[in-house]
Amino acid sequence: MKTISIRQAGKRHIPVLDVMGARYQFWHLRAALTRWRRARRMQFRWQDGLVQLTVCNRKVSVLPKYAMMIEDEREEWDEYYLHGFEEGMSVMDVGAGCGETAIFYLAHGARKVVAIESDQGAFKLLRKNTEGLAVECIGGPFRLEYLNFDVDFCKMDCEGCETLFLGVEAIDTRLVVEVHKRMIGQEASTSLIRKFNLRLLKDYGGYQLYSN
């Protein structure tokens, strides 16, 4: 299966390099080649255009753009995604991807997971990968009304929708949230951190991971 291809993007049909689902314009060739070399080293197993991985002893099919992210971040899930989590908790997984983190929480003793994913392609795989498990799958963007679900813990990785929390007075669940400062702006980021007294877990440069 090809890990790199040339596509046209935008109204001007500018050629771009597609490397495992991430697109780079040609003046970003160095970054594209770096990603391609890493993908080659990982030696992914492909089937029908999807990458086959094993997450917590369960075989899953994921979109190429998620495969590298999972491989890059998987070792850190134990350290950061379990911050404040306890066995027996029910979990809301916002930005559930192809189901990899829902499976992760179940493997660590979650009673059930409410998995929310806005990407249609990922959502189809989310449902397939978690079939038969204690996972309720919801397609579409995160909405504040979902905070009414009976859950004890929330992991949020939805690249910008974290600003919706500014519309509530308090968050009763334990929370691990990615704050995308470059996307939502410095003012919104600072307001979110101060309002809910968030503590920094790790700074990834482009975004920061916090807990309450």
Residue 172's pLDDT is what? 87
Residue range 64-211 forms a domain whose CATH class is: alpha beta
Q: pLDDT tens for residues 94-107? A: 999 999 999 999 99
Q: Does residue 143 or residue 39 have the better pLDDT?
A: 143
For residue 206, is pLDDT > 90? no
Q: What 3-state DSSP class applies to 161?
A: helix
Counts of helices then strands in the chain (DSSP H, E): 6, 13
54 φ, ψ (degrees, to nearest 5): -120, 120
18 band by pLDDT with thresholds 50, 70 and 90: low
Sheet holding 4-9: strands in order across? 4-9, 14-19, 22-25
Distance CA 195, CA 176 (A): 15
Q: Read off the pLDDT of residues 35-68 as tens digits, 9 standing for 90 and up.
A: 445 555 556 787 888 989 899 999 999 998 888 7
Cα 102 to Cα 63: distance, rounded to the nearest angstrom: 16
CA distance 143 to 140: 9
pTM of the model: 0.82
Determine the distance from the C-alpha atom of residue 193 to the mean position of all C-alpha atoms in its chain, rounded to a whole number: 20
Beta bridge partners of 17: 6, 24
Residue 161 and residue 104: Cα distance in Å, rounded? Answer: 22
| Residue extents of the structural domains in the chain | 4-43, 64-211
Long-range Cβ contact pairs of 140-145 (< 8 A, separation 24 or more): 140/116, 142/94, 142/95, 142/116, 142/118, 144/168
Q: Tell me, what's the pLDDT at 51?
A: 87
With b for 16 or more beta-carbon neighbours within 10 A and e for fewer, the 125-154 pattern comes to bbbebbeeeebebbeeebeeeebeeebbbb
